[in-house]
Amino acid sequence: MTTYRSELGKLGENRACEYLVDKNFRIIERNLRKPWGELDIIAVAPDKTLVFVEVKTMRGGGNLGIVPENQMTASKIKKFKRAAMLYAGSRPKFIKDDRGWRLDLIALTKVEKDFVIRHYENIS
């Protein structure tokens, strides 16, 4: 990953966290990297559901119809789900009642000095 892409990714993850906090989510962990996978953001939703958030960030400027959501392939969703299952299984204290957990995607497109944010809940 180039330095610019890495920096853009960090900016996107920071903005995604700000967005979630504004929506009354509580951030538990960020950038968790384990041998079994990686998780960008782990949060608790206002309804107490444990939420695993994958963040995809791109810079805007083109009209090619390319959006960060397109980076979330079926294979990536499968790996994301496996990592979330292993995390959730090892930390049952975060699973409240029957609310369980879910996988979300936050797609950010950098336009000038800010981001366009799209939040997709329960992607799997």
On the question of pLDDT at 100 being above 90, the answer is no
- Sequence ranges of the domains in the chain: 3-120
pTM: 0.89
Give 46-95 pLDDT, tens digit per residue: 999 999 999 999 988 656 668 899 889 999 999 999 999 988 888 777 66
CATH number belonging to domain 3-120 = 3.40.1350.10
Own/partner long-range contacts of 16-19 (Cβ < 8 Å, ≥24 apart): 16/40, 16/41, 16/53, 16/55, 16/106, 16/108, 16/117, 17/41, 19/106, 19/117, 19/119
What are the tens digits of pLDDT across the range 15-50? 999 999 999 999 999 999 888 889 999 999 999 999
